[in-house]
Every structure is written in structure tokens, then in C-alpha cells.
Chain A
Amino acid sequence: MSIEINNLRYVYNPGMPGETVALNDVSLTIGDGEMVGIIGHTGSGKSTLLQHMNGLLKPASGDVFVDGQCITDGKANLVDIRRKVGLVFQYPEYQLFEETVAKDVAFGPRNLGIEGEELDKTIQEAIEIVGLNYNEIQNSSPFELSGGMKRRVAIAGVIAMRPSVLILDEPTAGLDPTAHREILSMIRRINDNREIIIIFVSHNMDDIANMCSRVVVMDKGKVSLEGTPQEVFAQGRLLESMGLDVPPVVHIMNKISDEVSGFYSSALTIDEAAKDIREYIKRKK
């Protein structure tokens, strides 16, 4: 399973006064089981890029291959593509509409023609993988749940379509710290259990550093930087010029590295940073 994007270009309102180039010559390849983070300032083209990956938008030029199949040549079966590539929008809880959790989660798989026992099984699995108790919750109204739970039900609705790629657009926006942690561990669980490719968009650099094996930086409709979190977050200045930041712990470690001679750390997470400090102290003694 892979996603391959070649020279993608997209223009909003072509020929109109408000014409804007949203994507300009974007190329990207994402392979099996990867967890890729996409970062970029508002208006950098992130959301537009995501919507091309499951055929919600048609590019002006360039093409997108999902699992070797071109989805932009007009011949592709869009229902099939949307089954393979699940897209969870920002604040997905606002799309819930059924009377019960189970019915809402069933909406996606039903559209794919899954019925009967298989449907029940799919729903149960999806609800459990997002960390909710199926028996407790299946018959309750999605509108009576807490914010974090509603969001997980909405994500279950996409997972129930058994996608091979799961795209999450700011899945933790507006949640409290506890719900935030729960969503992150849910994403890890999905990635481990099903070897799904995860594409994770976030403004929270800490989350990106902790979760992703690769980071793609978007700026003004282009991929401006790409690499491991270490490589990307070493470019603090460049990121800042694009209205982005590095994880808070990087700021701390840079400051310490500057002030304390003989100390250097490129840690991106608290745990790595703590390890570096411990080792430094041991060495000094």
C-alpha cells in the first residue's frame, strides 16, 4: 500500500478575481505503515492536499496514485478510493447525525455495501479500536457524549470503512489535556494494530515530534521541507520564517546547549532530553 503524488497543482476560483494557487508542483511518496506528519501555517495548502488524496478535489494538473491506481484520470472508482483512504476532517464530531452511536458508525460501511453480521462485526471493532466500550455505548445517542468521546465516535465512523490510509486533520484541536492524550494513544494503537498508513496534520509540534517518523512541511502551496523530525526541527530559523515553531523542548535544549559548554542535545521529546541531561551529569562527574 502506498500513496504517490506527482507534480500536483490546484487553483481555487480559476479565471475569477479571487484566483489563488493552492498547490504548486507538490510531489510526495508515502509507503506502507508509515506515520507521516504534515505541518504548515493556515493557508499553506495542507487541507487542499489532503482532499486530493481521496478524490474530493480534482487537480488542475499532476496525478495521485493510491495503491498503484491513478485516482485522477477520471476512470477511477471513487467509492473504492474513499474506502481505501479514510479522511477525518477537523472537528469531525460535527458530522454525526444518527440516533445511536452504532448506527452512525455504520453509515460509512453501509455506503460500501457491507451488511448483516459482517457489518455488526466491523462496527464493534471500530468502536473498540478507538478505545470505547462497545456494549456500553452502542445504543446511546452520540450527542450526549463528552467532546473527546464524540470525536472518537466520529473517527470510528471512518475506521469502520477499513481504510489502508487514515488521514487525520488536526485530530486533537480544542481538546483538554486528558482527551488529547487519549486521542494520541488511539492513533498509535490504530497504526500498530492494522499497519495503516497514518497521515497526521497538526499545529502541535510536540505531537508531531512524538508520533511521526517523517515530517512534511508545507509553505505557500509547496513542500518546502521534508525529512525525519530530527532533520526538520533542526531548521528552527527556517520554520519560524514560515510561521511555524519547533517543539517547546527543542527551545529549552537549544538554550542549554548555548549556555553550557560541552553540552549538546538534539532531543525532540521530554524523555530523550531527560536522558541527555542525565548522561551529561554522569559524564561530568
Chain B
Amino acid sequence: MIRDITLGQYFPGKSPIHRLDARTKIIATFMFIVEMFIVNNFWGFVIAGIGLFTVIGISRVPLKFIFRGLTAVFLIIAFTFIINLFMFDGRILWHWWIFKITYEGLIRACFMVIRLVLLILGSSILTLCTKPIALTDGLEKLLRPFSRFGVPSHEIALMMTIALRFIPTLMEETDKIIKAQQARGADFESGNILRRAKSLIPILVPLFISSFRIAQELALAMEARCYHGGDGRTRMNEIHFNKEDVVAAVWMVAFLGIIIGSRFIR
């Protein structure tokens, strides 16, 4: 259950998408997110979907693997659909007591769900096709111009690296603690909200203590390996733009144009 979340996982490969500079991919993802809010009609989503699935095809990441990421956020998607479904006035299609479904609400709900799914798929392509270290390096470089204004770009990047690294470790730890407390007769499922919240204490306290212990040990291990901040650090794989990135950039701009154009399709 808890381990099924593929968010932030890397899928090793050598496709053109994998080879692109992380910065290109971060910017492309950012543009895609913006584009998803530019789109205002059905055809726009079709175009965006074709674009996205072309990229997925090039990346050679199995579709099954990508869609597994969606199952983890299924509840959020369902919730968005229902909220939008009932929230709009207009031509009434169905009516019961204070609930009503309108034509506009239905369209709106469908659009929101498509938007959300495309957004999640689009951003999971970024993490699936980019090594975590390249991703954080890319982010660090993109943020570097802002360090003049006090943005700690190196520290943010390092924090992300460590966070990505320790997600699986902490999940395992949580799983273990839950089971250990269950074996001591702990009950997390019954009672009212207050009782349930209280029943989390035996999980949260050990988890906090574990994370502090991990942090302390990790800090020591990093110091032992001569970590002393971002100054004077080098990288094994320096990221740099090449021809493929230029090609990608041209496509990205063209795609933005097409998406804006789609607003005028009637």
C-alpha cells in the first residue's frame, strides 16, 4: 500500500528524453503546467494529450508504470470531480433534494479531471526520466541567479536530494512502527476523530525520534566525507545543454503556440 507510490521515482533509461538537460525538462514541465491552465476547450486537451503521449512514447517508460502513479492520487481526482460536478449553476440534468448536476458542472468536472491527470502524468515524466541528482543539480543551477537575492540554491537542492533519498527509508520505518504497535494491541481504526488522532501518538513519537536519529547519523557521515557547503564543490556529471536541448526548446515554443491557438478553435 504505502510502497506503491511511484511519485519521485526514477526509471533508468537512455531515451532522448532521459538525455535532455535537467533544466530543459524542468522548464518544459513548468511550461506544460502553465499550458494546462491556458487550455479552455476539448480540442486543447486532445492536443495536449497527443503531445504528452508522444513524449511518453519517446521516453520508453512503460505506460503501466506511469499509470501506477495515478492510483495513489485516485482519491484526490475523485474528490475534484465530485466537487466540480455539484458546484455549478446552469442547465439542470439531474436533481435530488439540494443536489443538482448541471451540464456546465459536468463539463467543468470532466475538464478538471483531465487537467489533473495530464498534470500528474506530465510531472511524473520529469522525475521518471531524470536522475534525482541531475534534477536537483538542474534546480540549483536554475535558482542560482536568484542567490543574489538570498535564495539558498545549493541548500534547497541538497535538501531535495536527501528528501528523495529518504522517502523509501522513512516509509519502511513507518510501516515497521505501525506493525509493532499493532502487535501491542494498538487500534487505529475505531473511535471518533479525537480518539483516532490520539491513537497516532504511538506512531508519530517513534517516527520523530527515528528521523532525528537518521538526521544526526547522516550529518556525521556527510561531515566524515568532507561536506562543507556548496563552495568549491564539483560534480561528477556536469550538466550542460547540447543540440538535443535546442531541438527540444524549439518544440516547446511551437507547442506553446499551438496550445494558445487551440483556445480559438470553435
Interface residues of A (CB under 8 A from B): 16-17, 51, 54, 56, 79, 82-83, 86-89, 92, 94-97, 107-108, 111-112, 143, 157-158, 161
Q: With CB as the reference atom, state the residue of chain B lying closest to A86.
A: B183
Q: How far in angstroms is the closest Cβ of chain A from B128?
A: 14
A97 CB contact (under 8 Å) in B65, B182, B205: B205
Measured CA separation A87–B205 after assembly (Å): 20
Across-interface contacts of A143 in B (CB, < 8 A): 209
Which bracket fits the contact residues of B? 20 to 34
Measured CA separation A157–B64 after assembly (Å): 44
Q: Does B14 contact A (CB under 8 A)?
A: no
A-B contact count (CB 8 A): 59
Q: How far in angstroms is the closest Cβ of chain A from B68?
A: 8
Measured CA separation A224–B64 after assembly (Å): 36
Q: How far in angstroms is the closest Cβ of chain B from A72?
A: 16
Q: Are A97's CB and B184's CB within 8 A?
A: no
Q: Are A111's CB and B180's CB within 8 A?
A: no
Measured CA separation A122–B147 after assembly (Å): 60
Q: How far in angstroms is the closest Cβ of chain A from B200?
A: 11
Q: Are B206's CB and A79's CB within 8 A?
A: no
Q: With CB as the reference atom, state the residue of chain A lying closest to B179.
A: A56
Q: Does B33 contact A (CB under 8 A)?
A: no
Q: Are A97's CB and B185's CB within 8 A?
A: no
Q: Are A94's CB and B185's CB within 8 A?
A: no
Measured CA separation A215–B182 after assembly (Å): 27
Q: Are A87's CB and B202's CB within 8 A?
A: no
Q: Are B184's CB and A161's CB within 8 A?
A: yes
Measured CA separation A158–B184 after assembly (Å): 6
Measured CA separation A229–B64 after assembly (Å): 48
Q: Are B202's CB and A107's CB within 8 A?
A: yes
Measured CA separation A159–B222 after assembly (Å): 40
Question: Given A94-B210, A95-B206, A97-B202 in contact, is the A89-B185 Cβ separation under 8 Å?
Answer: no
**Given A97-B205, A108-B185, A161-B185, 17 extra CB contacts under 8 A:** A17-B64, A82-B182, A82-B184, A82-B185, A86-B183, A88-B183, A89-B176, A89-B180, A94-B177, A94-B206, A95-B180, A107-B181, A107-B184, A111-B185, A112-B185, A143-B209, A158-B184
Measured CA separation A79–B183 after assembly (Å): 9
Measured CA separation A89–B173 after assembly (Å): 12
Most-contacted residue by chain A among B64, B173, B179, B206 (CB, 10 A): B179
Across-interface contacts of B180 in A (CB, < 8 A): 89, 92, 94-95
Across-interface contacts of A161 in B (CB, < 8 A): 184-185
Measured CA separation A143–B209 after assembly (Å): 10
**Interface 0/1 of B202-222, CB less than 8 Å to A:** 100110011000000000000
Across-interface contacts of A83 in B (CB, < 8 A): 185
Across-interface contacts of B92 in A (CB, < 8 A): none
Measured CA separation A250–B177 after assembly (Å): 38
Q: With CB as the reference atom, state the residue of chain A lying closest to B202.
A: A97
A96 CB contact (under 8 Å) in B65, B173, B206: B206
**Interface 0/1 of B163-201, CB less than 8 Å to A:** 000000000010011011111111100000000000001
Q: Which of B1-43 contact A (CB under 8 A)?
A: 4
Across-interface contacts of A87 in B (CB, < 8 A): 183
Across-interface contacts of B184 in A (CB, < 8 A): 82, 95, 107-108, 111, 157-158, 161
Q: How far in angstroms is the closest Cβ of chain B from A227?
A: 29
A111 CB contact (under 8 Å) in B173, B186, B209: B186
Measured CA separation A111–B177 after assembly (Å): 16
Measured CA separation A95–B181 after assembly (Å): 7
Q: How far in angstroms is the closest Cβ of chain A from B121?
A: 18
Across-interface contacts of A157 in B (CB, < 8 A): 184
Most-contacted residue by chain A among B186, B187, B201 (CB, 10 A): B186
Q: 5 pairs across A/B with beta carbons < 8 Å?
A: A89-B176, A94-B206, A108-B185, A157-B184, A161-B185
Measured CA separation A56–B180 after assembly (Å): 9
Across-interface contacts of B206 in A (CB, < 8 A): 94-97
Most-contacted residue by chain B among A87, A88, A94, A143 (CB, 10 A): A94
